[in-house]
């Protein structure tokens, strides 16, 4: 792009290879951008809430994903339009920061764009709309603080945490056993949480899945599950009070680093070489025994000879264990990872009360459970399910639940769900609009209307009459000044979300409103789109 001047000194822009570029400017560009953002929101709108539908996505290499999670749907979709990519990043940032509410944030942004389009058609300048939205989002943010409730919980009373995790799981495919999964998620988070610092390291929770069994068989193991079996079938399947040597060095004779050739011209020399190797193995195995290890976990493999020797010396071993799993085993058992054999000492051994190998079904699948560890700060959630897609979706659902539990430990404020907090914010923003003179008040009112999109979508997805239901709940909130009335999605017969126990985290809701407003402001400020043309 270059700037030039004509003979009267008027500037004009010269575009490089102009005939090959498509260019939209002014109102056309804004409308095209708004349409792209709304198209993405429309896809996700139907998967909002407990009665929301699932999406089935097929990747180029034929893998099928069935999911209800907004961030996953948008990640897997192949989006070309730049504005639609902004919406994908919006749900991704909600997923990274909060972990839950990824669908709601996109639906919210879509309805803000829809309202902005109406204002643009009336001739209101996009910057004024963006400023009005910014004011309205601040009003909504503060209003949420006022209607939020704090609840106290401790290690003995975890019911409030479980209720909140059940709310996030109720919109997923696993909602038939949401109670047990919510309990598992909360117990896992509390096991690794540092309640003094209000911090949770989710890396210490390993989520492992195995096809077979039913969803109800999902369990929480205070320890580590490794998808490996003992290296020799005759090694003991259960070791109590295990002392574990965790090795990252290869269990084999040393090889020269450079290319090498050994000339063997007699049988004796070959025998000598073999005995030398065997002695080397013997020394290694003996070293492990002398230190007091009763189980060796090795990152690398060892050949059949070493395996045979280990079996004869009664030293069970597991080979080919991944680096991440080794770290978790070291954290759980209080051991140290040993990179060189010479450094192996008894202080570096990990301790576990029970190590057992467990077989599943009629297949040869076996896994090793390391339980009753010295430091139970690393836990594993072990998921069972009918097929691979079910297990993957359960993993995503549990990730949402774990994030919700973590957010509550960080900040224990909640707002009520079912669209009640959005309706309450909408009423507050509508009331505040009258205090603002100038064009911004139109944008503030539009923001209030946009907030109604989430309860509206909830009602629509639940098969209720959307407009009737929404206006009934809204008038009930206004009359009674009751911030807890929401959409009764599950047909329980009451609109009061306190009775239905539907909670959401305050920081999750606030983040949704802020992120959606930021993205919409950014989209409204674009007035010129220069893109390479299609051909």
How many residues does the structure list for the chain?
535
Report the distance separating Cα 506 and Cα 417, nearest Å: 10
Q: Is 109 exposed, middle or buried (0-12, 13-18, 19+ CB in 10 A)?
A: buried
Alpha-carbon dihedral of residues 372, 373, 375, 381, nearest 10 degrees?
A: -70
Q: Which of 69, 95, 100, 488 is catalytic?
A: 69
Active site residue 102: yes
Q: Mutual orientation of helices 506-524 and 126-147 as an angle, nearest 10°?
A: 180
Report the distance separating Cα 519 and Cα 106, nearest Å: 10
Active site residue 491: no
Active site residue 164: no
Q: Which of 102, 380, 469, 517 is catalytic?
A: 102
Q: Which of 95, 400, 488, 496 is catalytic?
A: 400
Q: Which of 65, 67, 72, 103 is catalytic?
A: 103
Beta-ladder partners of 13 = 3
Active site residue 69: yes
- The answer to whether residues 29 and 528 touch, using CB atoms and an 8 Å cutoff, is yes
3-state secondary structure 201-270: CHHHEEEEEEEECCHHHCEEECEEEECCCCCCCCCCCEEEEEEEEEECCCCCCCCCCCCCCCCCCCHHHH
Reading the block at residue 298, the tokens are 């090795």
Output 486-489 pairs: Cβ under 8 A, ≥24 positions apart: 486/416, 486/417, 486/418, 486/419, 486/420, 486/423, 486/455, 486/458, 487/418, 487/419, 487/455, 487/458, 487/459, 487/462, 488/418, 488/464, 489/49, 489/50, 489/51, 489/418, 489/458, 489/459, 489/461, 489/462
Report the distance separating Cα 412 and Cα 198, nearest Å: 10
Reading the block at residue 305, the tokens are 């000879």
Report the distance separating Cα 352 and Cα 375, nearest Å: 9
Strands 295-298 and 238-247: parallel
Reading the block at residue 152, the tokens are 């106290």
Q: Mutual orientation of helices 506-524 and 82-97 as an angle, nearest 10°?
A: 160
Q: Which residues contact 44 (CB under 8 A, 6 or more apart)?
A: 70, 73, 74, 91, 103, 106, 107, 110
Report the distance separating Cα 347 and Cα 414, nearest Å: 46
Q: Mutual orientation of helices 178-192 and 159-169 as an angle, nearest 10°?
A: 120
Report the distance separating Cα 170 and Cα 174, nearest Å: 7
Beta-ladder partners of 355 = 239, 370
Report the distance separating Cα 427 and Cα 452, nearest Å: 10
Cβ atoms < 10 Å from Cβ of 337: 17
Reading the block at residue 134, the tokens are 């910014």
Strands 55-58 and 64-67: antiparallel
| Active site amino acids | 69, 102-103, 400
């Amino acid at each position: 792009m270059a700037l030039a001047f004509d003979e009267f000194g008027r500037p004009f822009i010269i575009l490089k290879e102009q005939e090959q570029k498509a260019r939209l400017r002014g109102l056309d560009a804004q409308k095209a951008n708004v349409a792209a953002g709304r198209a993405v929101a429309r896809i996700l709108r139907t998967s909002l809430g407990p009665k929301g539908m699932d999406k089935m996505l097929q990747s180029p290499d034929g893998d099928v994903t069935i999911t209800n999670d907004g961030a996953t749907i948008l990640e897997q979709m192949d989006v070309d339009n730049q504005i639609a990519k902004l919406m994908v990043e919006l749900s991704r940032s909600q997923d990274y920061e909060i972990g839950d509410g990824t669908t709601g944030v996109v639906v919210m942004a879509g309805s803000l764009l829809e309202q902005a389009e109406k204002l643009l058609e009336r001739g209101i300048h996009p910057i004024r709309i963006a400023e009005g939205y910014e004011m309205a989002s601040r009003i909504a943010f503060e209003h949420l603080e006022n209607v939020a409730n704090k609840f106290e919980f401790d290690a003995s009373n975890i019911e409030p945490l479980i209720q909140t995790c059940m709310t996030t799981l109720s919109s997923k495919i696993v909602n038939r056993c949401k109670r047990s999964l919510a309990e598992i998620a909360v117990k896992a988070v509390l096991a690794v949480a540092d309640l003094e610092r209000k911090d949770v390291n989710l890396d210490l929770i390993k989520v492992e899945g195995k096809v077979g069994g039913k969803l109800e068989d999902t369990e929480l193991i205070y320890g580590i599950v490794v998808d490996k079996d003992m290296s020799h079938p005759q090694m003991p399947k259960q070791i109590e009070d295990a002392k574990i040597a965790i090795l990252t060095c290869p269990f084999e004779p040393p090889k020269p680093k450079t290319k090498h050739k050994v000339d063997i011209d007699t049988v004796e020399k070959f025998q000598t070489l073999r005995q030398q190797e065997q002695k080397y193995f013997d020394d290694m195995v003996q070293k492990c025994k002398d230190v007091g290890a009763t189980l060796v976990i090795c990152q690398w493999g060892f050949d059949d000879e070493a395996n045979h020797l280990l079996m004869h010396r009664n030293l069970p071993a597991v080979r080919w264990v991944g680096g991440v799993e080794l770290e978790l085993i070291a954290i759980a058992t209080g051991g140290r990872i040993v990179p060189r054999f010479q450094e192996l000492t008894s202080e570096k051994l990990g301790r576990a009360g029970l190590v057992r190998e467990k077989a599943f079904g009629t297949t040869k699948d076996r896994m090793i459970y390391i339980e009753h560890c010295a430091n139970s700060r690393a836990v594993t959630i072990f998921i069972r399910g009918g097929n691979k897609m079910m297990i993957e979706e359960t993993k995503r659902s549990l990730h949402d639940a774990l994030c919700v539990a973590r957010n509550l430990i960080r900040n224990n404020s909640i707002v009520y769900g079912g669209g009640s907090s959005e309706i309450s914010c909408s009423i507050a923003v509508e009331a505040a609009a009258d205090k603002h003179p100038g064009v911004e008040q139109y944008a503030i009112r539009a923001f209030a209307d946009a907030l109604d999109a989430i309860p509206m979508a909830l009602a629509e997805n639940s098969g209720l009459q959307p407009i009737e239901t929404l206006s009934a709940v809204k008038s009930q909130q206004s009359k009674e000044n009751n911030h807890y009335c929401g959409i009764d999605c599950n047909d329980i017969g009451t609109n009061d979300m306190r009775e239905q126990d539907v909670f959401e985290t305050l920081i999750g809701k606030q983040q949704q409103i802020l992120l959606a407003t930021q993205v919409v402001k950014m989209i409204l400020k674009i007035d010129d789109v220069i893109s390479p043309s299609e051909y």
